[in-house]
Structure 1
Amino acid sequence: MSSTPDSATAPQTAPADADNLVVIARQAILDDKRAVFGYELFDRVTAANCHTAASDAAMLFNALCYAGSEALGGKKTVFINCTHESLAGGHLELIHPEKVVLEVPTFGADATPEQIAQLIPTMQALRTRGFRLAFNQEVLRRAYASWLPLASFIKLDMQAIKPELAEPLVKYVQANCQATLVAEKVETAEQHERMAALGVKLFQGYWFAHPSTVKAQTIRPSQAIIIQLINLVRQQASTAEIEDLLKKDPTLSFNLLRFINSSGFGLSCEITSFRHAVMILGLKKLFRWAALLLTTSSKDGAPPAVGQTAVVRGRLMELLAAELLPKEECDNAFVVGVFSLLDSMLNMPMERALESVALPESVQDALLHNKGVFAPFLELTKACESGDDEAFARTANALHLSNRQVNWAHLQALTWAESLTAEA
């Protein structure tokens, strides 16, 4: 059986609007009574009449900002495919974990015990924050025994499992962990009946429903108004002051209300007041949201690569600062990195660009004079970006950071930034 596209699917959009179109595919996950338990979301990028799927949790940021809650999943649980690097991404700080399941892939056949063990602290931290984790049947291999206690869901691929192995696999899961089983890629009634008879309660696959697409036009606020919002947040302005700014710009307020009412937040009631939205989000998350919008807000002027590079710098500086500086300074490190290309994004000298933004003196010292506590972090970040080995070695040594620490942080920052700007 296959589903027809639901009413949330937007009509075809004119080619001229293609750059402002977000396309998300979703496939239902049903319970044993054929009721919808949740939806798995897939990022869909249309180009030259073909579709490619991007598998990364950061896709959720664009999905929730632009596609809307009811269109994506309503109040149902949402399953999102992740990469290992994206599990540490700051975008997950913007998502309420109650209705989100993160699908974590296993490593390849040549995975080492060290690789498998290295990811456990990150996954444990996500579980502590309330996220549920899903794994495929590869997690049942002996090498992944340490992952099993972290599993809330385990997906069994009906196209990869021989029929005679279904029963022993199900019994193994039932005996060794508390995870809920999901039979996925179910394409025949026989497969469904076999798994249901073994006690499996959740099902996904073409026999029930093909993925349907949800399309939405992006409505992007101007960079100037986002900078004003960041300015207010950095000044720790009152809720009333922030509310006044939101009232003046319908695109900014529209994006905020759509984001906070999305399924990722898991709120039980709809938020219609700007004041209420600001209070629920809080200044720290409001700043993060605005900073991400800033780098993806303009289709004209600065090329997209500038915004992406700014995000890489911000995230990399945040990760490096976390190794050496107090936690409260990590946000300022993020600001230095993101705003280090503000002159290019706004097409004006840095001094003039910073006149409109209230920033701590330590941040301005780094951006304007290459001095202060953040200056060596910014220099190291630029060295990573340019491949300047001499500057890299000098600044890394000065900060007492190993090559491994810096390279791992750089990889995480690159992955995070690429996924965040994939739909920009």
Structure 2
Amino acid sequence: MTESAASTAAPQADNSIVIARQAILDTQRAVFGYELFDRSTGVHEHTAATDAAVLFNALSYAGSENLIGRNTVFINCTHDSLVGAHLELIHPQKVVLEVPVLGPQASSDEIESKVGVLQALKERGFRIALDQNALRKAYTTWLPLANFIKLDMLAFKPELSEPLVKFARASCPKATLVAEKVETPEQYERMAALGVTLFQGYWFAKPTEVKARTLRPSQAVILQLINLVRKQAEIDEIEQLLKKDPTLSFNLLRFINSSGFGLSMEITSFRHAVMILGLKKLFRWAALLLTTSRNTGTPLAVGQTAVVRGRLMELLAAEMLPPEEADNAFVVGVFSLLDVMLGVPLERALESVSLPESVVDALLHHKGVFAPFLELTRACESGDDEAFARAASQLHMSGHQINMAHMQALTWADDLLAGNA
């Protein structure tokens, strides 16, 4: 409905996504919301799959706080995507669904059949935006469901502005009018004088791109998760799979803590994430993740090292700390290689996932309760005898005790990555 074909981008590498956003402003030039569209593939065909991808990628990868903050998100939809499972994964009050009219050959029965779908979306808390094509007589039953009517400034002559605004208000008095594709100050002033309060277009801002490196699990691992959920596996079994693949657990924590999910608390453990999400939504999340992933990713050696680190830290911490702290020690170990996996500084990698302060302190500042365990774990890998002795002494652990834990961690990781643990 807007300049979604503008600001085209070349296809991105498999580990990158690009979300374009264009601001929707009020009369004070404050940002009311953003319209989002995917620029990751360079393909601008608008389908139910692309609708799901742009919303999923925006929440999962691009760092939704940086992308949209607390603002409203406008998403263009096909009618197929309006009944898509991806809409059940997001907080509806954050989202406006831009719904197009049907094709010119649509019958009155086809038009009428969509009313129930729109009504159900409204009842779930979504807001609906229609364009001026919905002001035609055939769509009279849709109009009471509209929260916004978008008026395309390139679709009518200037002298028709006033009668169109009056007709829109009379036809849909509860809807907010949005003037889109505003390209000149004259267009803005004309519509503002008529009482229009929201504006979008090149005169204010062209679409800008938000790029992010992504950490995509392999399709094989995602399929394992889907199969576990389909057979309604125990949470313990699902948690083991999340521990097996750092990319999977990282994406899950980042998604569930995104603003679009709408939680009032931060989720910092894999088990808690699974419990909060539930098997039904976990399945849908995994299915969407599968469609946006490639059969590539982090080299196996890096992922395996991360898993070994996590398990070793968990075993060492279990000797001295409460069980919940041992769980956090596992997270420290696994996420200590995120910079290698993402190819960005660790501080930047951690910006998009919520973690306990003690975990962040160990990873970024080398301090706190987990820091000596991470230092010891790294010393085990390095073969530096002096560093090993120093780290072991700091934790008052014997070399035999540490070596046994390291062997257990290596065996556990081998079994886990082979699917036997």
Does TM-score exceed 0.5, indicating one fold?
yes
- Which whole-Å CA distance do the structure 2 matches of 1:226 and 1:299 have between them? 10
Look up the match of 2:211. 215
Q: CA offset at residue 299 of structure 1?
A: 2.3
Q: Which residue of 1 aligns with 2:335?
A: none
Q: Distance in 1 between matches of 2:293 and 2:170?
A: 50
* Deviation of the 1:103 alpha carbon: 0.6
Aligned to 1:96: 91
Give the counterpart of 2:185 among 189, 193, 211.
Answer: 189
Contact 2:135 2:171 in 1 (8 A): no
Contact residue 18 and residue 38 of structure 2 kept, 8 A = yes
Is 1:141–2:133 an aligned residue pair? no
Residue 57 of structure 1 aligns to a residue whose secondary structure is: helix
Residues 44 and 53 of structure 1 are in contact (CA less than 8 Å); yes or no, is this contact kept in structure 2? no
Indicate the residue corresponding to 1:52 in structure 2: 44
1:269 & 1:34 partners in 2: Cα distance?
32
- Relative to structure 1, the CA distance from residue 202 to residue 266 in structure 2 (aligned partners, 3 Å threshold; closer, same or farther) is farther
C-alpha contact 1:183 1:202 (8 A) present in aligned 2: yes
AA at the equivalent of 1:283: L
Is residue 168 of structure 1 aligned with residue 160 of structure 2? no
Mapped to 2, the partners of 1:273 and 1:195 lie a distance apart of 50
Equivalent positions of 1:254-293 (< 5 A) are 254-293=250-289
Q: Quote the Cα distance in structure 2 between the aligned partners of 1:278 and 1:300.
A: 25
Following superposition, the deviation at residue 25 of structure 1 comes to: 0.8
Other structure's SS at 1:52 match: coil
Report the equivalent of 1:204.
200
- Displacement of 1:287 in angstroms is 1.6
TM-superposed deviation, 1:190: 1.5
| 2:152 alignment counterpart | 157
Following superposition, the deviation at residue 76 of structure 1 comes to 1.0
Change (3 A) 1:70 1:154: same
Q: Which ranges in structure 2 are unaligned for 5 or more consecutive residues?
A: 1-8, 298-418
Q: Given residue 108 of structure 1, which amino acid in structure 2 is its aligned partner?
A: G
Q: In structure 2, the residue corresponding to 1:106 is in which secondary structure?
A: coil
1:27 to 7, 22, 27: 22
Looking at structure 2, the residues matched to 224 and 111 of structure 1 have their Cα atoms a distance apart, in angstroms, of 42
How far apart, CA to CA, are the structure 2 residues paired with 1:34 and 1:291?
Answer: 39
The amino acid that maps onto 1:57 is D
- Measured after TM superposition, the shift of residue 35 of structure 1 is 0.8
Q: What SS class does the counterpart of residue 233 from structure 1 fall into?
A: helix
Q: Determine the structure 1 residue equivalent to 2:58.
A: 63
Query: In the TM superposition, what are the counterparts of 1:6-405 in structure 2 within 5 Å?
Result: 18-46=13-41, 52=44, 54=46, 56-59=50-53, 60-177=55-172, 178-234=174-230, 236-237=232-233, 239=235, 242-294=238-290, 296-299=292-295
- Of structures 1 and 2, the one scoring higher in RCO (CA 8 A, sep 6+) is 1
SS at the partner of 2:51? coil
Q: Which moved more, 1:179-188 or 1:242-251?
A: 242-251
- The whole-number CA distance in structure 2 between the counterparts of 1:201 and 1:276 is 43
Shift of 1:273: 3.6
Task: Give the greater-gyration-radius structure (CA).
Answer: 2
Structure 1: which amino acid aligns with 2:268?
Answer: T
1:198–1:117 Cα change, 3 Å:
same
Shift of the alpha carbon at 1:297? Answer: 3.9
1:64 CA drift (Å): 2.2
1:109 Cα deviation after fit: 3.4
Q: Secondary structure at the match of 1:98?
A: helix
Aligned 8 A contact 2:218 2:295 in 1: no
Structure-2 separation of matches of 1:158 and 1:224: 48
What is the SS of the residue equivalent to 2:39?
A: strand
AA of the residue aligned to 2:103: G
Helix, strand or coil at the partner of 1:30 = strand
How well do the aligned residues superpose, as a CA RMSD in angstroms?
2.9
Q: Helix, strand or coil for the counterpart of 2:36?
A: strand
Q: Deviations over 1:180-222 (max 9, x none)?
A: 1111011111111121122211110111111001112231213
Amino acid at match of 2:70: K
How far apart are residue 251 of structure 1 and its match? 0.6
Greater CA drift, 160-169 or 281-290? 160-169
Query: What is the rounded CA distance, in whole Å, between the counterparts of 1:236 and 1:166 in structure 2?
Result: 57
Is 32-41 or 194-203 further displaced after alignment?
194-203
Q: Indicate the SS of the match to 1:25.
A: strand
In the TM superposition, what whole-angstrom CA distance separates every residue of 1:337-376 from its partner, at most 9, and x where no partner exists? xxxxxxxxxxxxxxxxxxx79xxxxxxxxxxxxxxxxxxx
| SS across alignment from 2:212 | strand
User: C-alpha displacement at 1:79, in angstroms?
Assistant: 0.6
